[in-house]
Structure 1
Amino acid sequence: MAQEVHADFADNASATAAADVPPAHHDQPLRHVSRDGVDYTLIGTAHVSRASADAVRELAASGRFDAIAVELCQARYDALTAERKWTDLDLYKIIRDGKAGLVMANLALSAYQRRIAEQFGIEPGAEMRAAAVTAKEQDLPLQLVDRDLATTLRRSYASVPWYKRLYLMAGLALGMVSSEEIDEEAIEKLKEGDILESTFTEFAEHSPELYEALISERDRYMAACLREQNADAAGRRVLVVIGAGHMEGLARHLADDGSDPAAQREQLAAIPPRARWPRLIPWAIMVLILTGFYIGFSRSPELGWQLVFIWVAINGGLAALGALVARGHPLTVLSAVVAAPITSLNPTIAAGMVTGLVESWLRKPRVADLENLRFDITTLKGWFRNPATRILLVFFLSNLGSAIGTWVAGFRIFGELS
C-alpha cells in the first residue's frame, strides 16, 4: 500500500501549490499526507490566534476539499458551536455522581483559555469554530476526530504516580489565577515545527507519562479516526484542522500506522482500570481506627471516649475548617463537623459529598450566577464569590481537611495507646 508524507511548510511549497493556497495562511504550518487513496492536508494552528482562525476560514472556503476534520470531540464541539448552557449545570447531580473534581478541572482549563483570549479579543478555539461554520456553509462533512476531553483527563490523571498528580492540580490552579500576560507573537511562534518539537521533547523528559496521554495518544487516536471515517473514500480531499503540537505525530501515525483503526480507537478511548491497592487503603484505615477504639475501651471507658473525642475533634474540625475557608454556609460548616468523622470510617462516601450537597441545597445558584460562571472562573476571587464554584470549593476543601484530619487523628490515637 503506497503511503506518502510531504513535510513541507506552506511558505516553502512549490510555486504551483502556493498559487492554490490563500495568502492568509502562508505562514501556517502545513503537512500533506496520502493514505489509502485519501489526500489529507493538515494545518497546524494556535488555539488562541486571529491568524490561525483567518487561515482556516480561507482554506476551508477555498473549494479544494471534500470534507473537513477538526481536533474536537462531540462535547467540545457542542460547547464551541452553541452558546454554553451554564444554566443546565446540575451541581447536585455532579456531586452525587462523584464528578465534581472533573468539573473543576474543566472549569480551570476554560478559565485559562478565556484569560488568554481576553488579552487578544478572540474566543478560545476560534479556528475550530471557523472550520465548523465554514463546513456548514460549504455543505461539507465535518469530522470530529479528537478523543473525549473527560477520557483524556482521566487517562492523564491515571498515567502519573500519585505524587505527580499534585503538579497537575497545582498547574491547573496556577494557570487559572495567574495574572502574567502572554505575548501573541510568542503564541504565533509556537507554530514553528522545530520550536514545538523541542518544547515537547523537553516536556516529555520531565513527564513522559503526561506527554503520552496528552499528546502521543491523541495523535494516534486522531489518526485512527481519520482512517476510519474516510475508509473506502479514495479520491477524497480532507482538510484537517489541528493544534500545531499534534502536527508531526499525527502526520507520522496517519502515514505509517498499520493497525486496525477501529481497534486502535477503542483501545485509546478505554479508561484504564484503577490499581487495586489504593482502594484498600481507606478500608485499612477504617479497620485500624476501629481497632484503636476497641483497644481504648478495653483498657478503660475514659480512654475510649478520649480517643473518640480526638477523632471527632481533629477530623471534623479540619473538614469544617476547609468548608469555612471555602466560605460555606454556617450549616455547611456544621455538617462537616458531623459528617467527616463518620464518612472517614465509610470508604464509600466522602465528607465533601455531604458538605457539597448541603451547600447546594442551602445556597442553590441562581440563573444569573450560572450565566456569570464563564467570567467568574477567570479569577480566584470569582471562584469564591460565585455560589456555583463555591459549592465545588466546599466539596474540595472539606474533603482535603477530612483527609488530613484522618491521618493526623489516626497518629494521635495510636500515640495515646502507645
Structure 2
Amino acid sequence: MESQTQDKFELEGREFILLGTAHVSESSIEEVVRVIEEQNPDVIAVELDEKRYQSIEDPDAWKNMDIIKVLKEKQGFLLLANVVLSSYQNKMGGKSGIKPGQEMVAAVNMARELGLEKILVDRPLSITMRRAWAKTPSSERFRLLSYLCSSAFSKVEMSSEDIEKLKETNEMDTMLQELSETFPVAKEVLIDERDRYIASKIWNSNGKKVLAVIGAGHMRGVKTYLEQMADDEMLSDVSEIETVPEKSKASKFAAWFIPALIVGLIAYGFVIGGKEKGAELLSSWVLWNGILAGIGAIIAGAHIVTILVSVLGAPLTSLCPFIGIGFVSGAVQALIKKPTVKDIENLQNDSSSVKGFYRNRILRVLLVFFLSSIGSSIGTFVGGASFVSIFSKIFNGQ
C-alpha cells in the first residue's frame, strides 16, 4: 500500500507502515487516529525524543528555565535557533489553531488508550541542534541563524491548503532541495542523519507490525534506510551520530593560538615601534572590539550598564578561549532586567515578531547575547586586520 501519506511494506518477515504527517495539520491528527485503529499495529513509533515527550506529559516544566544557566552552558545560540524554529512552526499552524506536533500527541494517546507499545524514535533535539551547530562552518552560522530568523518573522501566512501540501512528496522534495543547496551541512544533520536515526529505532523495535508516525519529509529517507538495514544490519548502529563531534585539534589550537598571536603582536609593536605604535596597536584592538560589541548591545536594546560591560569586556573576552562577550553581556542583562513568569509564558508568542523579541525579557537577553557576540566577532576580524596597516607603517619608518 502506498499513497501520498502512507507507505506499507514488508522486510525480513516484518510489516512496516510509515504514516507521513504535517506537524500543524488537523487532517493529520484525524488520519493518525483512523490509521492506528484500522491497522492495529504491535508497536507505534512516534517522531519524538524523550524531552519533547516529557513536555507533552508536563507542559509547564519548561517554565523552570534558567536563562543564565543556558548561557553559561554555551547553549545560547542553540536556544535562539530552537525558539525561532518553534516560532515558525507556530506561525504555520496559526490559522488552523493547531499546535505543532499535535498528531504525535494523538499517536501517544492512542497507544495508551489501546494498550500498545510506544517507542520514541527521534534523536534528542539538543544533540541534533548541537551537531548542526558544530558541523556548520563558522562563516555560515550567522547566515543560518539569519535565515531562520527571517523565516520566523516572515509576514507570509500559510493557508490550510498550503499546510496539507506539506504532506505531498513533490512539495517536500522541493523544500528539502532548497535547504540542501543553501545549507548542505544543516540539511545533512537535520534531515539525513535523523532519517537514519529514526529508521534504526524502528528497525530495532520488537514489533512484527510497526506503524511509524513521522513527518512527511522523512518518509522517503526512512524507508530507504530501512531497506538498507534489511541488507546490512550494521547500518542500524547509529552510535556515531548520537553524540556531538569534538572540536578538531586545529580548532582547539586556533582557540589558543590566535589570542596568543594578538597579544604577541601588540607586545612586539611596543618593542620595535615604541610606546606610540604599541599604543596604536592596543587601542585599535580595544576600540574595534569594544565599540562593535557595544553597537550590537545597543541594537539589541540592552540596558546602559550592559552596553558598557560589552564595550569594556569584549577586548578581553575575545582573547579568552573559555568565555565570550555574549555570555557576559547576556548574563548582565538578565540580572538587571530579570525575566518574569509572564516572559516565560509568552516566549512562543513573542518570538513570532521583532517587537515581541524586544518586549520579552528572555528574548531580549538572547538578542543581547547574539548581537554583542556578532559585534565582537567582527571587531576581532577588523581589529586584527588593522594590525597589517600599523605594522606596515612601523617597517616603513612612519
Fold shared per TM-score above 0.5: yes
Aligned counterpart, 2:354: 380
Contact 1:73 1:149 in 2 (8 A): yes
Residues paired across the two proteins, number: 390
Distance 2:381 2:186 in 1: 29
Distance 2:350 2:182 in 1: 32
1:131 is displaced (CA, Å) by 0.7
1:327 aligns with 2:301: yes
Distance 1:67 1:144 in 2: 11
Contact 1:80 1:125 in 2 (8 A): no
Aligned counterpart, 1:79: 55
Q: 1:176 to 1:207 in 2, by over 3 A?
A: closer
Distance 1:175 1:394 in 2: 20
Aligned counterpart, 2:242: 269
1:414 is displaced (CA, Å) by 3.8
Question: Structure 2 length normalisation: TM-score?
Answer: 0.90
Distance 2:178 2:156 in 1: 22
Aligned-residue CA RMSD in angstroms? 2.2
1:254 to 226, 230, 247: 226
Which residue type is aligned with residue 196 of structure 1?
Answer: M
1:337-372: per-residue Cα shift (whole Å, max 9, x none)?
A: 221111112122111111111112212211111111
1:139 is displaced (CA, Å) by 1.9
2:112 to 133, 136, 139: 136
1:207 is displaced (CA, Å) by 4.8
Distance 1:61 1:261 in 2: 33
Aligned counterpart, 2:391: 417
1:106 to 75, 82, 91: 82
Aligned counterpart, 2:15: 39
Give unmatched runs, 5+ long, in structure 1: 1-5, 10-27
Q: Map of 1:188-207 to 2, 5 A cutoff?
A: 188-197=164-173, 199-201=175-177, 203-204=179-180, 207=183
1:304 to 275, 278, 293: 278
Aligned counterpart, 1:16: none
1:223 aligns with 2:196: no
Distance 1:81 1:175 in 2: 29
2:89 aligned counterpart, secondary structure:
helix
1:59 aligned counterpart, secondary structure:
helix
Aligned counterpart, 2:257: 284
Distance 1:209 1:329 in 2: 36
Q: 1:162 to 1:340 in 2, by over 3 A?
A: closer
Question: Structure 1 length normalisation: TM-score?
Answer: 0.86
Distance 1:352 1:165 in 2: 15
Distance 1:284 1:82 in 2: 46
2:34 to 58, 76, 99: 58
Q: Percent identity?
A: 38
Q: 1:271 to 1:260 in 2, by over 3 A?
A: farther
1:219 is displaced (CA, Å) by 1.7
Greater shift in the superposed pair: 96-105 or 357-366: 357-366
Contact 2:228 2:235 in 1 (8 A): no
Contact 1:35 1:255 in 2 (8 A): yes
Aligned counterpart, 2:318: 344
1:204 is displaced (CA, Å) by 3.9
Q: 1:308 to 1:200 in 2, by over 3 A?
A: closer
